[in-house]
Amino acid sequence: MFPQTDFRSNTTVFFDHTFRVLLLEDCEFDRLRFSRMAKKSNILLDITTVTNLSELAVAADKATFNLVVLDYFLPQGTAVNAVEMLRNSDCNQDAKPIILSGNLDPKIALKSYRMGCGGYYEKAQLSTDLLVELIEKQKEKAVRKSNASVSQIPYGTQMGIEWLNALRPNSPV
């Protein structure tokens, strides 16, 4: 099991060795699907779920997230608006959000790339394996950016030290 934070209930609990994920998704079915994939990943995740841009703005100013996943089409805007909010937030201005959409559009893909997003995927493509890959990439970037010891990067207890060593084989853990 992993801890999960529901932003709307104001119950935020962070642990020392969790990977923090911010999910903006207005569809309950897709939120539950993401949760199931997260559980199957065997990575200790703290998922903060928001359902609209207003909640995103508040959550993004309260905590720093290791991974931000944004639904593209929202009732009051798009992921473009969400990325702009992240850029203006106190804690997540350097985030490289992942955008999910029900339908891939080359124009949106190009725009997300130009906005500095970490990826643009069709929702149907999202799988446990892809989620683990996205988390691994974020951890790898964090190691490179901080030049920190791998042991200082949040990790999932199920993945173990061997997995972390694979990120930087010559680093002491």
Domain holding 38: CATH number? 3.40.50.2300
Residue 38 within any structural domain of the chain = yes
- Specify the number of domains making up the chain: 1
Residue 150 within any structural domain of the chain = no
Domain that holds residue 116: 4-128
Residue 143 within any structural domain of the chain = no
What percent of the chain is predicted at pLDDT more than 70?
Answer: 73
State pLDDT tens for residues 69-107. Answer: 999 999 999 999 999 999 999 899 988 999 999 999 999
Q: What angle do CA 66, 70, 72 make, to 5 degrees?
A: 160
Residue 68 within any structural domain of the chain = yes
- Tell me what pLDDT residue 6 has: 44
Q: Are strands 45-50 and 19-24 parallel, antiparallel or unpaired?
A: parallel
Residue 33 within any structural domain of the chain = yes
Whether the per-residue pLDDT at 149 is higher than 70: the answer is no
Q: Which pTM does this prediction carry?
A: 0.76
- Tell me what pLDDT residue 148 has: 52
- Point out the least confidently predicted range of 28-42, 124-138, 157-171: 157-171
Whether the per-residue pLDDT at 131 is higher than 80: the answer is yes
Residue 154 within any structural domain of the chain = no
Q: Which of 60, 66, 56, 50 is nearest to 18 (CA)?
A: 66
Residue 12 within any structural domain of the chain = yes
How far apart, in whole angstroms, are the C-alpha atoms of residue 80 and residue 86?
Answer: 10
What percent of the chain is predicted at pLDDT more than 90?
Answer: 62
- Tell me what pLDDT residue 64 has: 93
- Exposure b/e, 64-96, CB count within 10 A at least 16 = b: ebbbbbbbbebeeebbbebbebbeebeebeebb
State pLDDT tens for residues 28-37. Answer: 999 999 999 9
Residue 119 within any structural domain of the chain = yes
pLDDT level of residue 13 (50, 70, 90 thresholds):
very low
pLDDT level of residue 141 (50, 70, 90 thresholds):
confident
Torsion of CA 43, 90, 50, 94, to 10 degrees: -50
Residue type, 133: E
- Tell me what pLDDT residue 172 has: 45
Mean pLDDT on 7-24: 61
